[in-house]
A = this chain, B = another copy of it.
Amino acid sequence: MEESRRERKKRQTRQLLVSTALRLFAQQGYDQTTVAQIAAAADVATKTFFNYFPTKEDVLFAQAEQYMELSADVVAAREPTDGLAEVLLKAYEQVIAHYLTVGPMAGDRELTKVYEQVLMTVPAVQARALHLLFDLQRELARQLLKAFPDKLDPISAAVVAGVFMGAVQSAGNAARELGQSSDEEITESMRRGVEIAMRGLRSF
């Protein structure tokens, strides 16, 4: 079945809300922009905004579920010869590639800056981002446990996911704090983080 008119309109409205919100955030700042303003600028009722996004923050994370599906796909489609480390690395590469090429930030330097600015300064947004990271981590653990039932148990699967995500996230964050702002620098730092997670902390 193709996309029905209803579904199409819904997607359009959703997209309109996202782009309108980002535009206003860029113009006047996140905190200075009210949901009522976003709704008015998109010409819908305020309540409609909340029908699409449970909170104001969520409009910034509209594409986040895709990452979850993406990594799940990679884990599910693993080659029988692939070990746990290989699968993790592939999932990582996939998500990064998707982020850099397909996501709403892809290539748009201006938008990326707005995003980063908001993410670094607005506590509520930071909190929401961490929560998402956390969900992603839990989902990854589930997938890994299903893919490697002989090597993992529920606890170790969770730990593997937690270690991996912790490495990537902390590396990316540290890179940003050090002023590394280009995609290349940041992904390179993340790669180092992954390598450390693979080797283990005793290697220091």
- A149-178, CB < 8 A from B: 151-152, 154-167, 169-171, 173-175, 177-178
Q: Whole-angstrom distance between the alpha carbons of A137 and B173 in the complex? A: 11
Report A122-149 CB contacts with B as 1/0, cut-off 8 Å: 0110111011011001100100000010
Q: Whole-angstrom distance between the alpha carbons of A105 and B177 in the complex? A: 35
Chain A: interface residue count, which band?
A: 35 or more
Q: State whether A141 and B163 are in contact (beta carbons under 8 Å apart), knowing that A127-B131, A200-B203 are contacts in the complex.
A: no
Binds B, one of A14-22, A41-49, A191-199: A191-199
Count of identical protomers in the assembly: 2
Q: Whole-angstrom distance between the alpha carbons of A25 and B164 in the complex? A: 35
User: A71 contacts which chain B residues (CB < 8 A)?
Assistant: none
On whether the beta carbons of B155 and A192 are closer than 8 Å, the reply is yes
On whether the beta carbons of B167 and A159 are closer than 8 Å, the reply is yes
Question: A100 near B: Cβ within 8 Å?
Answer: no
Closest CB-CB distance, A90 to chain B, in whole Å? 14
User: A193 contacts which chain B residues (CB < 8 A)?
Assistant: 155, 158-159, 162
On whether the beta carbons of A197 and B159 are closer than 8 Å, the reply is yes
Question: A70 near B: Cβ within 8 Å?
Answer: no
Question: A84 near B: Cβ within 8 Å?
Answer: yes
Q: Whole-angstrom distance between the alpha carbons of A169 and B137 in the complex? A: 11
User: A175 contacts which chain B residues (CB < 8 A)?
Assistant: 155
On whether the beta carbons of B204 and A151 are closer than 8 Å, the reply is yes
User: A60 contacts which chain B residues (CB < 8 A)?
Assistant: none
6 pairs, CB–CB < 8 Å, chain A vs chain B = A127-B130, A154-B177, A156-B204, A163-B167, A166-B170, A199-B202
What 9 pairs across the A-B complex have the smallest Cβ distances? A166-B166, A162-B170, A200-B200, A127-B127, A158-B174, A130-B130, A162-B166, A159-B193, A84-B204
